[in-house]
A = this chain, B = another copy of it.
Amino acid sequence: MKYVYLFNEGNKDMRSLLGGKGANLAEMINMGLPVPNGFTVTTEACNKYYKDNEVMSEDIKNEILVNLEKLEEITGKKIGDEENPLLLSVRSGAPVSMPGMMDTILNLGLNDKVAKAIASNEDNMRFIYDSYRRFIMMYADVVKGVNKDEFETILLNRKRAKGITSDLELTAEDMYELTIDFKKLYKKLVKSDFPEDITVQIIEAVTAVFRSWNNDRAKVYRNMNNISETLGTAVNIQEMVYGNLTNDSLTGVAFSRNPANGEDKLYGEFLEKAQGEDIVAGVRTPKSIEAMERDYPKIYQELKDISKLLEKHYKDMQDMEFTVEKGKLYMLQTRNGKRTSLAALNIAVSEVKEGLITKEEALMKVSPDDISSLLHSSFKKESLNKASVITKGLPASPGAASGKIYFDVQSVKKASEENIPAILVRKETSAEDIEGMQKAVGILTVNGGMTSHAAVVARGIGRCCISGCENLIVSEEEKYMQVGDKMYPEGTEISLDGMTGTVYEGVLEIAEASLTDNFKEFLSWAKEIKKLAVKANADTKKDALKALELGAEGLGLCRSEHMFFEKDKILAIRKMILAGSNEERDIALKELLPIQQKDFEDLFTVMDGKSVVIRYLDPPLHEFLPKTDIEMEELSKYLKISVSDLQTKIDKLKEINPMMGHRGCRLAVTYPSIIVMQTKAIINAALKCAKKGITVKPEMMVPLTISLNEFTYLKDIIDKTIKEIMVKDNISYKVGTMIEVPRSVIVANEIATKAEFFSFGTNDLTQMTLGISRDDASFLNDYYEKGILTEDPFKTIDQNGVGKLMIVASRLAKSVRPDIELGICGEHGGDAKSVKFCHKIGLDYVSCSPYRVPAAILAAAQAVIEGK
């Protein structure tokens, strides 16, 4: 086993062994770029260190010392040498970037003898004792684990004594004396002398970096970012270069392109006479890279050339660190640069145009989340930096919104009529709030997760929403919200960042979204490659138009009941629900028929030539019923019954576990006239559209099916109803079902004998397969914290559970109907990982809310590329 690699022995593909930094340093060395030389102790050495109970084995130590000798040879310098001493940095570098989480030691190789030798040139004296005293403090801190405070106090006292405030005003003598004081303090705290032996320094420093892999902040960071504990860190030992040595020394960071917008121009900043750490510390204000072009044109050109070379080599925008020592440029690090979504898109597109990468490579460089975020407005960074946070919730629907808060639909509507941007704040939303949600610029709820009613509806209509804001107290009656002791009455201005789930005080400045040409071109590439069809979940003409604009190839889910929530319709549906007899119900349904038919006509017209999957009435009936006193009175007048009789009727419909109650096709079994009315509305609308030359492809979908008997009972009613209206076979339609209850998976081969398509309703399927109500799932936070679960099963398909059921259902269905159409219409249809899973298991399409369509298209394309 080889534990140490000279830089020239490695390359960029050895990231897991050498860490990201080490692999890239090796790569640059091999490219012939100016990189201070060195070697890397591998992650395997780190893992062995932990396996050996945190002791570094002799073979690793020996290998480090052997390579140190080789480095001396390569550099022509020697450790501890008075003529030409080798000074070193010791830096961590894990396979996955964990910026600032682990330790670093600089100026290693200094001791009294070396310092004195260098200081014999008086020009170097201040510099070398400054470096030495820093080294002592760093070593005490990182290697010996003592508190730095007393060192800082000594430094401070010296400055006070001299009446100065800046370190820069300290003289060479001050630095020398500080070094002596620091060494004394070191001895006092560590109970031994500071080591003169430089091999001791090196071995101890490497051990300290290994140890820092397991410090508390590193562990938390790994946990938060799902980084495996078993990776370990590598350690890079590299010749020091000093950006603070002379006046023609400097240090800086640069991106090969602008990371904010992707512009193809060197971007970054530098500090003259400084070390890299000084930029990070932010004590001095760095200069922009443009100043370098002016003041150091030669170095600028060299850096720019290297930057282009690296970009071409890595086929990606680079984030680089460099230092100039006495006019000579050294590259200290390069890696693929982080960037905004906008920059990611623009860079990918322009790199294709430059011939740097292929379209397929470009498609892999932008994440579906990036694509989604480009569809939504966001707060300007400057504005965010100044904003004060009220609280945080779940980022339920992206976008940015500022407005006044209101606690009921009426007030939101009134404000909206007066052109006041309104934010609807509710404990939770229900079907009745939809009008208010549409009129509001943003929605904030106390309860509910990422797939709560508020979240689902908000994403569907592209409205910014924060849900599950659990430390918010809302009084809808008294019209205020409260966090801690602070009250926010109706009309208070707040801002919602739907991308992060943060609620801010006051109004913030918004950057609007826009679909650029680059965006459209990029998506067109994805469309060419993908195999999965991407459809949208949309219930109204407006949503359908948005879906088409964003690239949807059809509607995979039209929730027929969503059409009912407008004012005049809801009264009719309530009348239907509360009907005392079949006759009363039929009268109410007769009133609903033309309304629903008109809605379908609008939808079919918009979707001309594309398939439209319509789900029959699904939610439990009580979801449609009034909740407030005002609504109760209104309904009681409309129905001409007393409020108390109305209440009794409503109470009868209450359920203990509504998610598993009288809903879905169970409603149609009890009240077949509902499914008859809906079928008539669909087919009448289709016939009317067909007459106008519109191509209509309705697919009628039965929700919550659990057995062939049940499906057959309903399909017979649907077929009979259609036969009665459709004299000629002039509309081609399909009748299929949702697969959303575990039992329907088990008997999928039976159901598929009659059902022409399956659509996986993975929201419900996840709830029932896991036995977790998404509305009551806040306990899952304990599961994430304790590492029992790593992903939200309501966001990303639980492949080991729900995913297996999807595979089983698909196989069973195809065994009896090989050409059955298979799709997914749950929230997962817009989640990139889940879309890729759907591709892998051979579904025909995914369907998601309109604003997720572009992300789903990209994910579907990536799935094809990844599968190659």
Contacts of A771 in B (CB 8 A): 659-660, 704, 706, 740-743, 764, 768
In the complex, A655 has a CB within 8 A of chain B? yes
Collect the chain B residues with CB atoms within 8 Å of residue A746's CB: 769, 800-801, 804-805
Q: Please, how many residues of chain A have a CB less than 8 angstroms from a CB on the other chain?
A: 47
A743 and B764 in contact, given A658-B656, A709-B788, A779-B670 (Cβ under 8 angstroms): no
List chain B residues, Cβ under 8 A from A181: none
Residues in B with CB closer than 8 Å to A669 are 779, 782-783, 786, 788
Complex copy number for this chain: 2
Q: Is the CB of A662 within 8 A of B776?
A: yes
Contact residues in B for A710 (Cβ distance below 8 Å)? 783, 788
Query: Which of A707, A767, A775, A788: most chain B Cβ within 10 A?
Result: A788
The answer, yes or no, to whether A384 is at the interface (CB within 8 Å) is no
Kindly provide the distance from the CB of A847 to the nearest chain B CB, expressed in whole angstroms.
21
A770 to B704, CA, bound (A): 9
Cβ-based interface call for A416 (8 A): no
> Looking across the interface, which residue of chain B has its beta carbon closest to that of A707?
B788
Query: Are A747 and B788 within 8 A (Cβ)?
Result: no
A34 contacts the other chain (Cβ, under 8 Å)?
Answer: no
**A657-B788 contact, Cβ under 8 Å, with A742-B768, A779-B669, A801-B747:** no
**Is A661 an interface residue, CB under 8 A from the partner?**
yes
Taking each of A771, A786, A801, which has the highest tally of chain B beta carbons within 10 Å of its own beta carbon? A771
Cα separation A656 to B429 with both chains bound (whole Å): 13
Quick check: is A726 within 8 A (CB to CB) of the other chain? Answer: no
Query: Which B residues touch A709, using CB under 8 A?
Result: 787-789
Proximity bits, A761-792, B CB within 8 Å = 1, else 0: 00010011111110110110011001111000
Are A776 and B660 in contact, CB atoms less than 8 angstroms apart?
yes
A657, B805: Cα distance in complex, Å: 23
Report how far A772 CA is from B659 CA in the complex, Å: 8
* Interface membership of A535, Cβ < 8 A: no
Give A223 Cβ to nearest chain B Cβ, in Å.
15
Q: Which residues of B are found within 8 Å of A666, using beta-carbon distances?
A: 779, 782
Interface string of A592-632 (1 = CB under 8 A from B): 00000000000000000000000000000000000000000
| CB pair B655 A713 closer than 8 Å | no
Select which of B704, B747, B788 is within 8 A of A713 by beta carbon. B788
Q: Which residue of B lies closest to A766 (CB)?
A: B743
Per-residue interface assignment for chain A, residues 499 to 541, with 1 indicating a CB less than 8 Å from any chain B CB and 0 otherwise: 0000000000000000000000000000000000000000000
Chain B: minimal CB distance from A219 (Å): 18
Taking the closest CB of chain B, its distance from the CB of A229, in whole angstroms, is 15
The distance in angstroms between the C-alpha atoms of A415 and B256, with both chains bound, is: 88
With contacts A669-B788, A706-B770 taken as known, whether A801 is within 8 angstroms of B743 at the C-beta atoms is yes
Q: Which residues of B contact A779 (CB under 8 A)?
A: 661-662, 666, 669-670
Contact pick for A776, options B655, B742, B775, CB 8 Å: B655
Q: A298–B713 Cα gap in the complex (Å)? A: 61
| Nearest B residue (CB) for A710 | B788
Could you say which residues of chain B place their CB within 8 Å of the CB of A798?
743
Least CB separation from A740: chain B residue? B771
Which residues of B sit under 8 angstroms from A764, Cβ to Cβ? 771
Q: How far is the CB of A815 from chain B (nearest CB, A)?
A: 15
CB-defined contacts of A776 to chain B, threshold 8 Å: 655-658, 660-662
Q: State A790–B118 Cα separation when bound (angstroms).
A: 96
Q: Is the interface of A mostly helix, strand, loop or mixed?
A: helix
CA of A756 to CA of B710, assembled, Å:
39
Q: Which residue of B has the minimal Cβ distance to A713?
A: B788
Whole-angstrom distance between the alpha carbons of A704 and B769 in the complex?
Answer: 12
Nearest chain B CB to A24 CB, angstrom units? 35
Chain B residue with the shortest CB-CB distance to A470: B652
Q: Which residue of B656, B713, B767, B769 contacts A775 across the interface (Cβ within 8 Å)?
A: B656
List the B side residues contacting A788 at CB < 8 Å. 669, 707, 709-710, 713
Rounded to whole Å, the gap between the CB of A226 and the closest CB of chain B is: 14
Residue in B660, B670, B769, B787 whose CB lies within 8 Å of A743: B769
| Bound complex: CA A655 to CA B779 (Å) | 12
Q: Cβ of A655: which chain B residues have Cβ within 8 Å of it?
A: 773, 775-776
When C-beta atoms are compared, the residue in chain B nearest to A447 turns out to be: B656
Smallest beta-carbon distance A650→chain B, Å: 15
- Residue-wise, chain A 727-745 has the 8 Å CB interface mask toward B (1 for contact) of 0000000000000111100
Contacts of A782 in B (CB 8 A): 666, 669-670
**A661 CB contacts on chain B under 8 angstroms:** 772-773, 776, 779
Q: How far is the CB of A718 from chain B (nearest CB, A)?
A: 15
Q: Give the distance in Å from the alpha carbon of A670 to the alpha carbon of B780 in the complex.
A: 9
Nearest CB on B from A709, distance (A)? 5
Look across to chain B and name the residue whose beta carbon is closest to the beta carbon of A782. Answer: B670
Q: Which of B662, B713, B801 contacts A706 (CB 8 A)?
A: B801
Complex CA gap A39/B713 in Å reads: 41
Select from chain B the residue with minimum beta-carbon distance to A805: B746
User: How distant is A313 from chain B, measured CB to nearest CB, in Å?
Assistant: 41
Interface string of A658-698 (1 = CB under 8 A from B): 11111000100110000000000000000000000000000
Q: Are B743 and A770 in contact (CB under 8 A)?
A: yes
- Inside 8 A of A741's CB, which chain B residues have their CB? 769-771
Query: What's the Cα separation between A782 and B710 when bound, in Å?
Result: 11
Complex Cα gap A788–B710 (Å): 6
Shortest A158–chain B CB gap in Å is 48
**In contact, A660 and B773 (Cβ under 8 angstroms):** yes
| Chain B residue, CB-CB nearest to A657 | B773
Nearest Cβ in chain B — how far from A754, in angstroms? 14
Shortest C-beta distance, A839 to chain B (Å), equals 21
**Top 4 A-B residue pairs of the complex, sorted by shortest distance between their CB atoms:** A657-B773, A661-B776, A660-B773, A741-B771
Known pairs A655-B776, A670-B779, A742-B801 / 6 extra A-B pairs, C-beta < 8 Å: A661-B772, A710-B788, A740-B771, A742-B771, A742-B805, A768-B769
What residues of chain A have their CB less than 8 Å away from a CB belonging to chain B?
Answer: 655-662, 666, 669-670, 704, 706-707, 709-710, 713, 740-743, 746-747, 764, 767-773, 775-776, 778-779, 782-783, 786-789, 798, 800-802, 804-805
6 interchain pairs (CB within 8 A)?
A656-B776, A660-B776, A662-B779, A710-B783, A742-B770, A743-B769
